[in-house]
Amino acid sequence: MYLNLESKVVLVTGGSKGIGLACAKAFLTEGARVAIVSRSRENLYTAQQQLEADGFSVYTCPANLSESSEAEFMADMVEKHLGPIDILINSAGAAKRYPIQDLSSQIWRDAMDAKFFTYTNAADAVGRRMVSRKQGSIVNIIGLGGKVASSLHLPGGAANAALMLVTVGLAQAYGREGVRVNAINPNTTTGERTNIKIGLEASLRQISEAQVLAEHQAQIPLGRYANPEEIANVALFLGSDKASYVTGAIIPMDGGLYPII
């Protein structure tokens, strides 16, 4: 399918690792001009080296998106170097997982800073620019923890649930301004964060990580976790003109694990 993404300017928050990095590479493969953002200069450098080894050029911008001023700075710098942002892929931040007995007011607050405000600050900074130009697409990569509660992920799940509401609310508000807003809800994908999750559960249950992994994947109708590239492929479609009449959609990607609507 021809997606007409050549020379589009794409900003990927959390673009130095995992799903964000997979999204950056997917858009680069389609000929887009891509900027990636992370709090870590080291992670940005590593990601840039990986992409350059594959023949791609990417603009990097370090920013702590839990601060609105840094989100504004990020948007200014990307537009200065690449031009007006056509597509925003929000993939930055992940709330840490804690046993329920360890929760505190600070942990709840930290989860909102890590996941909710990193997305809303970026959406505010970039969305206003899109509205002024009467075009743009925002894709929030959130997570099914906002629909299916887990005692190990309550603060992060609460942030995810809030982001789903923000997604559909912004879609309604921005639709008349030519800006589409959608979301993807992955469940578990292969990578560093999943390894941490499995390690925590294995420790709590006093079983091996291999046993936890086997149990989890056996529950999934498709029989395995998703890989980041599969999430990125859906982000490509949602960001492209081929999804021109899709807005306010929240797409689950759980391999059929949760039969809910």
Average pLDDT rounded to a whole number, residues 187-202: 83
Assess if residue 73 is contained within a domain. yes
DSSP 74: H
Shared-domain flag, residues 144 and 245: yes
Lowest mean per-residue pLDDT among 23-37, 51-65, 195-209, 213-227 = 195-209
Assess if residue 1 is contained within a domain. no
Assess if residue 217 is contained within a domain. yes
Lowest mean per-residue pLDDT among 42-51, 143-152, 191-200, 209-218 = 191-200
Shared-domain flag, residues 116 and 218: no
Shared-domain flag, residues 147 and 24: yes
| pLDDT higher than threshold 80 for residue 193 | no
Both tokens assigned to 216: 């989890």
**Cβ atoms within 10 Å of 234's Cβ, excluding its own:** 20
Assess if residue 260 is contained within a domain. no
Shared-domain flag, residues 205 and 85: no
What pLDDT shows up at residue 113?
95
CA distances 26 to 37, 40, 135, 237, 241, Å, are 16, 22, 21, 11, 16
Q: What domain range includes position 204? A: 190-225
Q: Return the exposure string of 126-145: e unless at least 16 CB atoms fall within 10 Å of the residue's CB, then b.
A: bbebbbeeeebbbbbbbbbb
DSSP 51-70: HHHTT---EEEE--TTSHHH
The answer to whether the CB of 161 falls within 8 A of the CB of 146 is yes
Whether the model clears a pTM of 0.75, i.e. scores above it, the answer is yes
Assess if residue 30 is contained within a domain. yes
Shared-domain flag, residues 212 and 153: no
Shared-domain flag, residues 121 and 135: yes
Shared-domain flag, residues 244 and 174: yes
Shared-domain flag, residues 87 and 131: yes
- Dihedral pair phi/psi, residue 256, rounded to 5°: 85, 10
Shared-domain flag, residues 59 and 141: yes
Shared-domain flag, residues 142 and 76: yes
DSSP 163-200: HHHHHHHHHHHHGGGTEEEEEEEE--BSSHHHHHHHHH
Contacts of 21 (CB under 8 A, 6+ apart): 15, 36, 47, 50, 228
| pLDDT higher than threshold 80 for residue 249 | yes
* Upper half-sphere CA count for residue 9 (Cβ side, 13 Å): 17
Percentage, residues of the chain above pLDDT 90: 82
Assess if residue 261 is contained within a domain. no
Domain count, the chain: 2
Shared-domain flag, residues 234 and 204: no
| Residue 150: CATH number of its domain | 3.40.50.720
Assess if residue 124 is contained within a domain. yes
Shared-domain flag, residues 49 and 154: yes
